[in-house]
Amino acid sequence: MATAQASVSDVCLAARDASRVLATLDGATRNDALHAMAAALEDRAGEILEANHRDMEAAQAGGLGPALLDRLKVDEGRLLGIAADVRTVASLPDPVGETIEGKRLDNGLDVRRVRVPLGVVAVVYEARPNVTIDCSALCLKSGNAIVLRGSSTAAHSNAVLAQVAAAAVASTGVPEDAVSLVSGGDRDELRQLATQDGVVDLIIPRGGEGLKAALNEHATVPVMYAAAGNCHVYVDRTADLDDAVAITHNAKVHRPGVCNAAETLLVHSDVAADFLPRALAALRESGVEVRADGRARDCAGPLGDSLGDATDEDWATEYHALILAVKVVDSVNEAVTHVNRYGSGHSEAIVTGSMVSADAFTQGVDAACVYVNASTRFTDGGVFGMGAEIGNSTQKLHARGPIGVRELTSYKFVIQGCGQVRE
Amino acid sequence: MATAQASVSDVCLAARDASRVLATLDGATRNDALHAMAAALEDRAGEILEANHRDMEAAQAGGLGPALLDRLKVDEGRLLGIAADVRTVASLPDPVGETIEGKRLDNGLDVRRVRVPLGVVAVVYEARPNVTIDCSALCLKSGNAIVLRGSSTAAHSNAVLAQVAAAAVASTGVPEDAVSLVSGGDRDELRQLATQDGVVDLIIPRGGEGLKAALNEHATVPVMYAAAGNCHVYVDRTADLDDAVAITHNAKVHRPGVCNAAETLLVHSDVAADFLPRALAALRESGVEVRADGRARDCAGPLGDSLGDATDEDWATEYHALILAVKVVDSVNEAVTHVNRYGSGHSEAIVTGSMVSADAFTQGVDAACVYVNASTRFTDGGVFGMGAEIGNSTQKLHARGPIGVRELTSYKFVIQGCGQVRE
């Protein structure tokens, strides 16, 4: 593994050399490396926990809050979980080498589009040491070299974890530089990493909006942003109202802090007076604060007076909390327009009995995942059968929705001839 | 069509509104619009040729060279050709709405990955008015709204062509703002266009390196770069030397000014003395200037003394001319290393009788198109059966190789349930 003393440029060039070897290795060899990585995490648990202990002490002394301390912490149970996840990644189908499509041209040339690794993937993340291993495993599975840049808060943990991973893969004949770490201390380092044109093939930020903004300003290499989610449930006039209550409740309450939770409920005016009193009672029972527009309050029955006022700011807000904005609309088209105006393109649901409304919503809504009669909470690479995911994209280029190992690949055309020249 | 008087931001927002309607239209409606566009080009030929005449007069007065004048010129024959190309695009299979993959989860959810338009595609180009129509047709076929920014040199031609196209599509019920033009006069306009985050989904530059550099510096929306090509032919020790001579000659001589022409010939040392005298004689007959390394000169026979010296700069140069650099290597791996060091990731060929060498080359070379026993000249969306192409990508994200109508699409997940919630 290239060390933190090397320049960012040197680390990335070494990663590129490693990526070119990785591209020629078969899936069994890459899986051997993953199993070696999992075993090394268990065998070298002592070193890892000790390094994490040092980070934890410094973070406590520095006054880090309990939520962030919990993210930073690695104990034996968590470490075994991380190792188990690496073995799960190893068990996924090999995404590399698949012929995506092939055809024989009239001149006899066989043209095949073949899935290949991207090359060098950089992952920039905050103080969660498990990301070091999770992302290394996904990149190795997909034949990519990874350059990690973690937070200085987790510097000791990340240094040991990356070194353990690199040594393990090297023990199986995979280049050690398949996994490298840059130190994470220096802000200029991020800019250097983000401008390694022709060397780093993709940067994935896993962190807050500040990190994304910094990359959007400086990056000249491609970036894939893990997404915010301002998600909606729309209850159509033909909805089964039992389903609608259950889906609304699940989308809001099941795990309110995640990006596929619902933030706004849209209700067709024809069913608002039937639906809203039931839905709001169920939400209130789970402690949800509701902010409604005037028409929704009028249809809310006895609960109407207790609701907050929804403003334009509410429509645009991802609460990450037990708060739900509610609005009455007069058509599926009005719902689509609202979703496209305020949504973040993540996960959107319609509850309806009408095929016409379902088609209008799925075709009209511009989002990564569009649900008919199901909760938005299902958006997840694991749930979708893609194996583990490295994030969720709301971009439209390359990968949209869950980013699994296959989304960490590119393709090349391989053309087999027998002497053909162009006339 | 939004006019040039509107701000770039307003033009792009109107294009986004149009794109949302386009996303809901079926393929037949989009084809009707394409046929209307082709007919309008013929019906309104007078206006178009007159506008082009004004651009030509100004360009001649301004001292534009003959090659650029030829690119700027639209005559009746060319206009009929452009209209015919629009009809060809209409005849391609519809790339939108295809289910790329689908599965039923254990909980009964049907998860389908469905191909959808990108949304708003901006194309920035130089003084070739035909690009206005070619790109509009490809975007319309793939369900995208297009925002065009041409060169001020072609301002009159582009304004009329875009207006003809927008009016024609509007006559078939497709939103007029599906095709818009920003004026092309102002450098700051390019920066505005390249920073329409969340509105413009993709920018494609079709022009020189200066344009690409400007976009790489300023763009915060995704850019897909049409590529330079520093392409190689490698003649392995097991090559059929007749094929090798024909492929080398074709790759260099057939059309030396294009990006899939070969710039460097690599020859295995075991066959260099047999192969090079024959290949160099054929190249000389076609007027090719050869720049060789010392070992190649030693193997070149009687022509050796007449060859130029190849330097490191030659290995890195895309000549776009009848010049070929020649180097002797000792293995397929040395060839792969040279190609990955100096190549631009476009099109690379090996001539070989060995499956081991073919695999080492196709897996080891990091390029969009890798050929075994065929000329690099075949890299082309039309040749590959993809229909027309908007360019050729050497990027690895989203699209690599020819960019056809399918590469101008994204996908969304459409999930059909019957009331499922996440446990």
What is the least distance, in Å, from the CA of A326 to any CA of chain B?
20
ipTM of the complex: 0.93
B308 reaches A (C-beta below 8 A):
no
Q: Is B214 in the same domain as B355?
A: no
Choose among A276, A262, A349: nearest CA to A307.
A276
Q: Which residue has the higher pLDDT, B261 or B227?
A: B261
Residue B50: pLDDT band (50, 70, 90) is very high
Please report the pLDDT score of residue B230 as a whole number: 95
Lookup: tokens for A134: 């999770």
B150 and B256: one domain?
A: no
pLDDT for A9 beyond 80:
yes
Terminal CA-CA length for chain B:
49
Please report where in the chains the tokens 């519809």 appear, as a residue: B94
Q: Are residues B278 and B351 in the same domain?
A: yes
pLDDT at A36: 98
Contact B95, B141 (CB under 8 A): yes
Contact A354, A236 (CB under 8 A): yes
Q: Is the pLDDT of residue B395 over 80?
A: yes
pLDDT at B4 over 80: no
Say what angle helices B130-141 and B27-43 make with each other, to 10 degrees: 160
* CB contact A2 to B (< 8 Å): no
Burial profile B153-177: b = 16 or more Cβ within 10 angstroms, e = fewer:
bbbbbbbbbbbbbbbbbbebebbbb
The neighbouring-strand residues paired with A226 are: A393
Show which of residues 331-360 on chain B sit within 8 Å of chain A, judged by CB atoms. 340, 358, 360
Answer whether A384 sits within 8 Å of B246, measured CB to CB.
Answer: no
Closest chain B CA to residue A246: B421
* The predicted structure's pLDDT at residue A307: 95
Q: Are residues A407 and A327 in the same domain?
A: no
Same domain, B187 and B159: yes
CA dist B72 to B52, B57, B67, B75, B163, Å?
8, 11, 9, 10, 18
Nearest CA in chain B to A351: B419
Phi, psi (degrees; rounded to nearest 5) at A2: -60, 140
Best to test chain B binding among A144, A249, A414, A418 (most B CBs inside 10 Å): A414
* Residue B181 and residue B51 in contact, taking contact as beta carbons nearer than 8 Å: no
Q: What is the mean pLDDT of chain B?
A: 94
Q: Does A4 touch chain B (CB under 8 A)?
A: no
d(CA A369, CA A363): 11
Find out whether B96 and B410 touch, Cβ atoms under 8 Å. Answer: no
| B249, B286 contact by CB (below 8 A) | yes
Whether residues B240 and B221 fall in one domain: no
The CB-based long-range contact list for B279-283 (8 Å cut-off, 24+ gap) reads B279/B235, B279/B244, B279/B245, B279/B248, B279/B249, B280/B307, B280/B326, B282/B245, B282/B248, B282/B249, B283/B248, B283/B249, B283/B252, B283/B253, B283/B324
Q: What is the pLDDT of residue A122?
A: 96
Angle between helices A130-141 and A76-90 (to 10 degrees): 10
Q: What is the pLDDT of residues B210-245, one digit of tens each?
A: 888 888 888 889 898 877 889 999 999 999 999 999
Is B305 within the bounds of a domain? yes
Note whether residue B1 is domain-resident. no
Distance from CA of B177 to the nearest CA of A (A): 17
Query: Residue A337 pLDDT more than 70?
Result: yes
Nearest by CB to residue B23, choosing from A224, A363, A412, is: A363
Helix (H, G, I), strand (E, B) or coil at B286: coil
Report residue A260 CA to chain centroid gap: 11
Q: Between A111, A364, A410, which is nearest B396 by CB? A: A410
* pLDDT score of A3 more than 60: no
**Whether residue A170 sits in one domain with residue A102:** yes
Q: What are phi and psi of B196, to 5 degrees?
A: -85, 65
**pLDDT in the model for residue B173:** 94
Q: Which of residues 147-206 of B touch A (CB under 8 A)?
A: 197, 201-202
**Which residues constitute the domain of residue A106?**
8-226+403-415
As given in the structure block, the two tokens for residue A55 are 């980070």
Q: Is the pLDDT of residue A83 over 70?
A: yes
Position A331 in a domain: yes
| B94 located within any domain | yes
Confirm whether B295 is domain-assigned: yes
Contacts of A401 in chain B (CB under 8 A): 412-413
- Range name among A74-78, A390-394, B251-255 with the lowest pLDDT average: A390-394
Considering the domain architecture, whether residues B206 and B238 belong to the same structural domain is answered as: no
CATH number of the domain encompassing residue A360: 3.40.309.10
Does residue A4 register a pLDDT over 60? Answer: no
Residues of A in contact with B251 (CB under 8 A): 421
CA distance B2 to B8: 10
d(CA B150, CA B240): 47
Place of tokens 């719902």: A335
| H or E stretch covering A392 | strand A392-393
Tell me the pLDDT tens digit for each residue of A180-225. 999 766 678 899 999 999 899 999 998 777 888 888 888 889 898 8
Start-to-end Cα distance in chain A: 49
Chain A residues 92-151 with CB within 8 Å of chain B: 103, 105, 109, 111, 118-119
**Do B374 and A423 contact (CB within 8 A), yes or no?**
no
- The pLDDT, as a whole number, for residue B184 is 61
pLDDT exceeds cutoff 60 at B2: no
| Domain match, A17 and A113 both | yes
How many domains does the structure of chain B reveal? 2
Q: Is the backbone of residue A387 left (phi > 0), alpha (psi -120 to 50) or beta?
A: left
Q: What pLDDT is attached to residue B3? A: 53
Contact B331, B364 (CB under 8 A): no
Neighbours of B65 (CB within 10 A): 8
As a whole number of angstroms, the distance between CA A10 and CA A3 comes to 10
Inter-chain contact B415–A378, Cβ cutoff 8 Å?
yes
pLDDT at residue B154 greater than cutoff 90 = yes
In a domain, B387, yes or no: no
Q: What is the mean pLDDT of residues B163-179?
A: 97
Q: How confident is the model over A12-68, as pLDDT tens digits?
A: 999 999 999 999 999 999 999 999 999 999 999 999 999 999 999 999 999 999 888
List, in order, residues 6 or more apart from A277 with CB less than 8 Å away.
Answer: A299, A300, A301, A302, A303
Tokens at residue B340, please? 């990955």
Q: Are residues A52 and A151 in the same domain?
A: yes
Regarding whether A322 and A340 lie in a shared domain, the answer is: yes
Interface size, chain A vs chain B, as Cβ–Cβ contacts under 8 Å = 193
pLDDT tens-digit readout, A144-163: 999 999 989 999 999 999 99
Q: Is the pLDDT of residue B58 over 80?
A: yes
Residues B161 and B238 in one domain: no
Question: Is A415 within 8 Å of B340 when comparing Cβ atoms?
Answer: no
Tokens standing for A1? 């593994």
Q: What CATH number does residue A128 fall under? A: 3.40.605.10
**How far apart, in whole angstroms, are the C-alpha atoms of residue B163 and residue A388?**
49
Side chain identity at residue B44, one-letter code: R
What is the rounded distance in angstroms from the CA atom of residue B384 to the CA atom of residue A110? 10
β-strand pairing of A308-309 with A289-292 = parallel
Q: What is the pLDDT of residues A350-376, one digit of tens each?
A: 999 999 999 999 999 999 999 999 999
Q: Which of A193, A232, A266 is nearest to A343 (CA)?
A: A232
* Whole-number pLDDT of residue A1: 57
The single residue listed with the structure tokens 């920039």 is A124
B145 SS3 class: strand
Quick check: is B385 in a domain? no
Q: What is the pLDDT of residue B295?
A: 97
| A420 belongs to a structural domain | no
Q: What average pLDDT does this structure show over A125-136?
A: 91
Of B260, B333, B334, B321, nearest to B287 by C-alpha is B321
Question: What angle do the packed helices A130-141 and A27-43 form, to 10 degrees?
Answer: 160
Would the CB atoms of A254 and B377 count as touching at under 8 Å? no
